[in-house]
């Protein structure tokens, strides 16, 4: 039997639903198994006589709406004041840069041939860690996604678009001091680049060959902003569609 493939864009819906279920599981603890079975039996016996009416947003109380507003404010504060504008600019950069990759421009060789898997992978990489992790999920799920997407997203495992050496050098020197003080040489071309860090080959002053794994700057802000957005989106969906 042929497995059904899921279009990569539908992963966003899956992600929202997962967070919604995860949040509900912690905010509304379930009763013990024994009592749950009893309740289920009772509900089955009474389901034939009466069916619970479907809830709508009108059934939500003012207190629930105020609680949602407080959670939105708290998530915004925790993400930091730079998170929203920074992610908005990063999204604009990701979309515009990817579009330019496939559009002909003066003074440049022929543009890349447009391919949906390649375009989506480039956007995910340029949107940062959260979306690279999402791309890694696509790459590791060949039974869920079409083969061309799985193959293309394999690049998200260790071949994402690297940060410039100037940025990586600043991070290293901030943590360890001047590079020349500790290393006799550092290869500016990374051995690998993934969602959160990239790796560079180096040689210590003592002559030992080592690798330096450098965490990409402001990765925590990016993750907080993305996860806060997903959490808020799930809570809004829960408010608007109580029985979803």
Q: What is the pLDDT of residues 170-220, one digit of tens each?
A: 999 999 999 999 999 999 999 988 888 899 999 999 999 999 999 988 887
Alpha-carbon distance 71 to 9, whole Å? 27
Most confident of 4-8, 106-110, 127-131, 228-232: 127-131
Q: How many helices (H) and strands (E) does the chain have?
A: 11, 4
For 212, the enclosing helix (H) or strand (E) is strand 209-215
- The candidate with the shortest Cα–Cα distance to 102, out of 120, 86, 90, 88, is 120
Q: What is the pLDDT of residues 23-81, one digit of tens each?
A: 344 344 444 434 333 334 444 444 444 566 666 666 677 787 788 788 878 777 776 66
Per the CB < 8 A criterion, the answer to whether 95 and 123 are in contact is yes
- Kindly report the backbone phi and psi dihedral angles of residue 210, in degrees, each rounded to the nearest multiple of 5, phi listed first: -135, 175
Alpha-carbon distance 193 to 196, whole Å? 8
pLDDT at residue number 186: 94
pLDDT at residue number 105: 73
- The candidate with the shortest Cα–Cα distance to 210, out of 192, 187, 178, is 187
CA distances from 75 to 80, 226, 229, 244 (A): 9, 11, 8, 23
Query: Which region among 15-29, 77-91, 128-142, 170-184 has the lowest average model confidence (pLDDT)?
Result: 15-29
Residues with Cβ within 8 Å of residue 16, at least 6 apart in sequence: 230, 233, 234, 237
CA angle 194, 200, 201 (to 5 degrees): 140
Report DSSP letters for 147-199, one per residue.
Answer: HHHHHHTTHHHHBPPPPPHHHHHHHHHHHHS-HHHHEEEE-SS-SEE-SSEEE
């Amino acid at each position: 039997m042929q497995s059904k493939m899921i279009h990569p864009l539908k992963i966003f819906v899956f992600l929202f639903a997962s967070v919604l279920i995860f949040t509900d599981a912690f905010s509304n603890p379930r009763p013990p198994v024994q009592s749950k079975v009893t309740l289920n039996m009772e509900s089955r016996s009474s389901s034939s006589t009466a069916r619970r009416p479907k809830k709508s947003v009108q059934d939500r109380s003012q207190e629930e709406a105020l609680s949602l507003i407080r959670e939105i404010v708290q998530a915004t504060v925790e993400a930091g004041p730079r998170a929203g504008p920074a992610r908005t600019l990063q999204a604009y950069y990701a979309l515009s840069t990817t579009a330019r990759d496939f559009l002909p421009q003066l003074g440049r060789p022929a543009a890349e041939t447009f391919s949906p898997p390649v375009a989506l992978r480039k956007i995910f990489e340029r949107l940062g860690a959260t979306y690279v992790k999402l791309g890694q999920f696509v790459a590791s799920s060949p039974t869920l996604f079409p083969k061309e997407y799985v193959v293309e997203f394999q690049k998200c495992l260790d071949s994402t678009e690297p940060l410039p050496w100037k940025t990586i050098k600043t991070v290293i020197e901030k943590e360890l001091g001047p590079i020349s003080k500790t290393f006799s040489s550092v290869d500016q071309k990374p051995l690998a680049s993934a969602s959160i860090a990239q790796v560079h080959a180096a040689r210590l002053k003592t002559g030992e060959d080592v690798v330096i794994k450098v965490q990409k700057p402001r990765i925590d802000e990016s993750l907080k902003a993305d996860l806060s957005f997903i959490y808020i989106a799930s809570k809004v969906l829960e408010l608007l569609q109580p029985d979803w």
